[in-house]
Amino acid sequence: MLSLVATLVVLSLCFAYWGVHFLATILVLSFLIFFHELGHFLAAKYFKVRVLTFSIGFGKEIFSKEYKGTKYQISSIFLGGYVKMKGQDDSNPACKNYDSDSYSVLHPFKKIIILFAGPFFNFILAFFCYLIIAHLGQKQLAAVIGAKSDFASEKLLVNDKIVSINSQKITSWFDISPLLKENNEVVLVRDGKELVLNVKAQYKDAYNEFGQKIKKYVLGISPSNEIVEVYYRGFNSFSYAFNECINASTLIFKGIYKLISMQISPDNLSGVITMGDITTKASELGLSTLLLIAALISINLGIMNLLPIPVLDGGHIIFNFYELIFKKEVNEKTFEYLSYIGMAFLLSLMLFATYNDVKRIFLPNLW
């Protein structure tokens, strides 16, 4: 009862702060969680494992319905979800059952497939989000020069529209930077005429996507306020969706590495409040923007669940690889201790991320 009351209080505060658009956050996060757990569920069913519970959320159930031996429920603590299989229970790591329809009797490779299916479904969902975005179109800054710095090449003029750089087509302003090298072949349109220019870039101080100071090649130009709708059709839409999934995954892996290696501050770690804030604001900007954020969160969810932390899918996958290699299960006591350590670590991480969220969003002027 206490968890239900707490959830209602939190939801009331969220709607009071963000307004009706917060409903979009609830719907997006619910669907992402559902789709993740659906992956586990379908894989378990394929291997004829009995699924006892399919839950969106944790804690006390708000609504439930049993169908063909599985209880489908919505729970009060809306911070994830779970599929509880016969013979497998994260809340009780020692839980085992050796009936023919139990998770415990499966070959480790089949267990790995079930565990991987949840994150895999997150990647599939993100791919389809990007595919829809490709056809809906996405508002981006046009590749039109709005201003020049002192070191910019005299060959480039304000209002020039950049068409390609080093034989690579430019569709928006953000395509320019990754293509630059010291000497560049730039194709642009000026006063309705297409020109081909050899332009030298300068190796200057800049900032990467994590706010770190780096050096890279720049042209010394900035965009105009012109906005362009970027579309991808046919096979290009699949190529776009695949590349965006790879780019987003790479960015997340880089972020994790930089956090672990202390290259960026732990203060950059964000939690569910920031996720809600970004998703709510994205819903105000249109469907394409909302789908973009949903895709990023889905990939994030998939990758985070694959981290080798006990109680996460990745941790269980490591345990099963151990069994595959050494032909025996991880010692029961070791498994329990590691599981509880994993739970404590994730809880601590969640609390720290929530602290960062509150500090960043609600109390920015106090720091």
Burial of 352 (0-12, 13-18, 19+ CB in 10 A): middle
pLDDT for position 165: 96
Query: What's the CA gap between 114 and 48, in Å, rounded?
Result: 11
Strands 161-165 and 183-190 turn out to be antiparallel
Chain-centre distance for alpha carbon 90 = 24
> Is pLDDT of 365 > 60?
no
**Beta carbons of 221 and 152 less than 8 angstroms apart:** yes
- Phi, psi of 199, rounded to the nearest 5 degrees: -120, 130
Higher pLDDT, 248 or 285: 248
Q: One of 37, 226, 229, 332 is an active-site residue; which one? A: 37
Higher pLDDT, 288 or 14: 288
Query: What's the CA gap between 339 and 273, in Å, rounded?
Result: 26
Contacts of 339 (CB under 8 A, 6+ apart): 90, 93, 310, 311, 315
Query: What's the CA gap between 196 and 186, in Å, rounded?
Result: 6
Strands 168-169 and 161-165 turn out to be antiparallel
pLDDT for position 273: 81
pLDDT for position 216: 92
Query: What's the CA gap between 145 and 323, in Å, rounded?
Result: 59
Higher pLDDT, 355 or 185: 185
pLDDT in tens, 32-69: 999 999 999 999 999 999 999 999 887 778 888 998 88
pLDDT for position 7: 65
Query: What's the CA gap between 112 and 3, in Å, rounded?
Result: 33
pLDDT in tens, 303-360: 999 999 988 999 999 999 999 999 888 888 888 888 889 889 888 988 888 888 888 8
Average pLDDT over every residue of 264-274: 83
pLDDT in tens, 202-227: 999 888 888 888 899 999 999 998 88
pLDDT for position 1: 57
Query: What's the CA gap between 219 and 205, in Å, rounded?
Result: 12
Is 37 tagged catalytic? yes
Of 198, 148, 184, 362, which is closest to residue 276 (Cα–Cα)? 362
Residue with token string 């307004």: 19
pLDDT in tens, 94-144: 677 778 899 989 999 999 999 999 999 999 999 999 999 999 998 889 999
Q: Which amino acid is at 220?
A: G
Average pLDDT over every residue of 166-178: 93
Residue with token string 């949840």: 118
- Which contacts of 41-49 are long-range, i.e. CB under 8 A and separated by 24 or more positions? 41/83, 42/117, 43/113, 43/114, 43/117, 44/83, 44/85, 44/103, 44/114, 47/106, 47/110, 47/113, 47/114, 48/100, 48/101, 49/85, 49/86, 49/87, 49/101, 49/102, 49/103, 49/106, 49/114
- Phi, psi of 156, rounded to the nearest 5 degrees: -95, 135
**Per-residue confidence band for 22, with pLDDT thresholds at 50, 70 and 90:** confident
Query: What's the CA gap between 32 and 126, in Å, rounded?
Result: 9
Task: Tell me the average pLDDT of the chain.
Answer: 88
> Is pLDDT of 263 > 90?
no
pLDDT in tens, 146-162: 999 999 999 999 999 99
